Amino acid sequence: MRTRNPSIRLIFLSTFATEDISFACDYSGTWSNQLVQRKSPLRIHSTQQMLINDYRPRYRPARANARIIEMDKRLNMTGLTRAELVKFIVDIGEPAYRSRQIFAALQHRRQQNFDDISDLPKALRERLRETATASTLTIESRYLSEDGTRRLLMKTHDGFPVETVFIPEERRDTICFSSQSGCPLQCTFCLTAQLGLLRSLTAGEIVEQIIIALNDVYGIGEKPLRGTNLVGMGAGEPFLNFDSLLKAIRIMADPQGLFIVPHRVTVSTAGVVPRIRELVSIPDRPNLAISLGAPTNEMRDVLMPINKKWPLEELLMACKEFEQTLKAGERFTFEYVMLDSVNDSDEQARQLANLLNRHELHAKVNLIPHNPAEPLPYQPSPAARVEMFRSILESKGVHGFVRRPRGRDIFAACGQLAAIRQNASVHAG
């Protein structure tokens, strides 16, 4: 029988500064010095291949470790703010204006190779290649849904999966990005939870997802046809990677770069209360979405174990603090996954409305029919049931909106990201 190995667990905790993550990791399985042990293997349709075992953390041979450490020493310039880039360039003895050229190339023209930055001297490009990198993520597979959604399965320089979803719409594009590889929260309706936490992503890796997705659709440096919205609703709990998340948002908002302002970014959390309260005082912040999943603590404890740390009353008090600071143009919503015969009854609709009204919360509720996948034990609520649930909310003064699923057929929909490789990789674009 394997025993808990605290030293391995500390490797993952070392990148976090708060006690919040230690709670979350307790739900991600038992760490051993070889791999993460699961109670039962993940079943998947025979027409798909799941690579979860390939991504679980394990010790690597000394040679592989040395290679990864060497790669880690190379600075990922995509994760630098303009000010940080100026300091780096000046520190290596180059004039400050070179930093502006590099930032524009990486963030505005979306170039991912120093050799392509033709306005830099060849000697400087060679020097940058030795000490830095313009890109660390590589696309392994891309999948195109019948509804136009794209799922990009990428990997980090150290071999962990990262998934990004591009959702085209009539008036805008939406890119759903991941904040972590895997996820430490064990929400029972989410396939990503089967991976556990592999590691958190850097600010550069978050920004890169947007650059890669736009380049994959439009081509390097080409202007998107529509405006771009971002949603932090991919793999991971964004508020357990808070600093990297906010830094990435600041970089992407720069007018000299991607220029995707915070009002066009929505971040979803399962309810990390201290970070919600911290967001209250941040001026240039993204829109906030709270995943509720259940109207009572008893049910939410089962569906979303994070509720045992921050129960509904504490969570909604923090939500009220945030709602009271909303500025013009900011949005605040609740997300409610609809699980057939689990959390979708008339009584549960009344309980949810009463809960929100009791806390005087006026945010709308997005009703999300569950996106099924083996081995998850749930099915989506029927359309008629979802509509009845919505009408009950409306009758009690709570605005409900039914979200249409996108990308279900390629495992790109909400709660389906789990590094799944399907038989056919589609070259889209």
Structure tokens at 141: 């597979």
For residue 230, give every residue at least 6 positions away whose Cβ sits within 8 Å of its Cβ, in sequence order, or none.
174, 175, 176, 177, 210, 252, 260, 264, 265, 266
How far apart (Å, rounded) are the C-alpha atoms in residues 69 and 79? 18
How far apart (Å, rounded) are the C-alpha atoms in residues 7 and 337? 36
First-residue to last-residue Cα distance in the chain: 50
Residue 37 has pLDDT above 90, yes or no: no
Cα 289 from chain centroid (whole Å): 13
Q: Which CATH superfamily is 140-422 part of?
A: Aldolase class I (3.20.20.70)
Does the annotation mark 190 as catalytic?
A: no
Sequence ranges of the chain with CATH classification 3.20.20.70: 140-422
| Catalytic choice (94, 126, 163, 313) | 163
pLDDT in tens, 347-397: 999 999 999 999 999 999 999 999 998 889 999 999 999 999 999 999 999
pLDDT in tens, 204-223: 999 999 999 999 999 999 99
Residue 68 has pLDDT above 50, yes or no: no
- Strands of the sheet with 138-144, listed across from one edge: 138-144, 150-155, 161-168, 172-176, 227-232, 265-269, 287-291, 332-338, 364-369, 400-402
How far apart (Å, rounded) are the C-alpha atoms in residues 193 and 310? 19
Residue 29 has pLDDT above 90, yes or no: no
For residue 219, give every residue at least 6 positions away whose Cβ sits within 8 Å of its Cβ, in sequence order, or none.
429
pLDDT in tens, 231-266: 999 999 999 999 999 999 999 999 999 999 999 999
Does the annotation mark 374 as catalytic?
A: no
| Catalytic choice (183, 187, 190, 414) | 414
How far apart (Å, rounded) are the C-alpha atoms in residues 54 and 51? 5
CA dist 222 → 108, 134, 208, 215, 355 (Å): 10, 18, 16, 8, 47
Q: Pairing relation of β-strands 364-369 and 400-402? A: parallel
Which pLDDT band holds residue 176 (cuts at 50, 70, 90)?
very high
Of the options 1.10.150.530, 1.10.760.10, 1.25.40.10, 1.20.1070.10, the CATH number for the domain spanning 75-133: 1.10.150.530
Is the Cα torsion angle 35, 26, 370, 285 positive or negative in sign?
negative
Task: Give buried/exposed letters for 35-55 (b at 16+ CB in 10 A, else e).
Answer: ebeeeeeeebeeeeebbbeeb
The predicted model scores a pTM of 0.84
Sequence ranges of the chain with CATH classification 1.10.150.530: 75-133
